[in-house]
Amino acid sequence: MKKIIILIIVIFVFLLILGGAFLWQERNKLMGENIIRFEPPENYAIKETLEGKIVEDKKAGLSFKIPTDWRVMVSEYKKGEGIVEIFSPGADFYPNTGIIKKGCGIAVSTEYKSKEEIGMIVDLIKSIKENRINSGAQPNKTVIEVDSFSALKSLIFNKPEMGQGFKIEVPVAEDRTYVFNTFVPPEEEKCPSEFDKFLATVSIIQ
C-alpha cells in the first residue's frame, strides 16, 4: 500500500513538472510572437528631389516628404532596427534625455508585430468608426486617415512641462504597421498643423 502511495505521488509530481514545462514553452512561444521588430535602418533611403527631401522604404512600401528646412536622420533604435527622426529648424532637447523642449518632432518607424496585436488595432479602429465604443471608454483615441488607410491616433502623454505626444498607428498588413510619433512641446502651437501637412505627403504602396 505504501509503495502504491509513493508511486502515485511520484506520478503526480512528474505530471506537475511536465505541465510546468509545457506552460513555460507556451509562454516563451507567446512572448516570442509578440516581440516588436523594427525595419532595419539600411532599408530607409533619403533622396534629394526637385520637390525636396523624400524618405523611402521600398521594402515596406512607405515614403514621405520631409518639410522644407527640417532635419532628418535615420537612427538605430537598437541593433539592426531603425527609426527615422525628423525635427523642425531650431529644435532643442533636454540634456541627456532626447526629449524635445523646443520645435516640432516626428519619429517614423515600420514595425512588425504578431497578427494578434495588429488585429487588436484593426478591431479598435473599426469599433471607434462604428461608434461601438463609448467616447468615455477611449477618450484619448481617435481614427484618422493616412493615404486612404484608417489609422489609430492615441494621446500618449499630456504634461504641462513636456507638452503632448501622439502615436499614430497605420495597420497595413497582418504583421506590419507604420507608426508616426509626434511631439508637441509647450507653447509650440504650430506643430499640429505642421504634422497634418506632413501626414498628407505619406504614400503607402501595398
Provide the residue ranges of all domains of the chain, joining segments of one domain with +: 1-33, 37-204
Burial class (CB in 10 A: 0-12, 13-18, 19+), 167: middle
**Residues contacting 39, CB < 8 A, separation 6+:** 57, 59, 60, 81, 82, 109, 110, 111, 112
pLDDT on residue 150 = 95
In the CATH hierarchy, which fold is given to the domain comprising 37-204?
Protein Transport Mog1p; Chain A (3.40.1000)
Q: Measured between alpha carbons, how far is 173 from 117 in angstroms, rounded to an integer?
A: 11
State the burial class of residue 118 (Cβ atoms within 10 Å of its Cβ: 0-12, 13-18, 19+): buried
pLDDT at 8: 42
State if pTM tops 0.85: no
CB distance 71 to 55 below 8 Å:
no
What is the arithmetic mean of pLDDT over 146-152?
Answer: 95
Question: In this structure, are residues 85 and 107 in contact, taking their beta carbons and an 8 Å threshold?
Answer: yes
| pLDDT tens-digit series, residues 80-92 | 899 999 999 989 8
**pLDDT for 52-100, tens place per residue?**
999 999 889 999 999 999 999 999 878 889 999 999 998 988 887 777 8
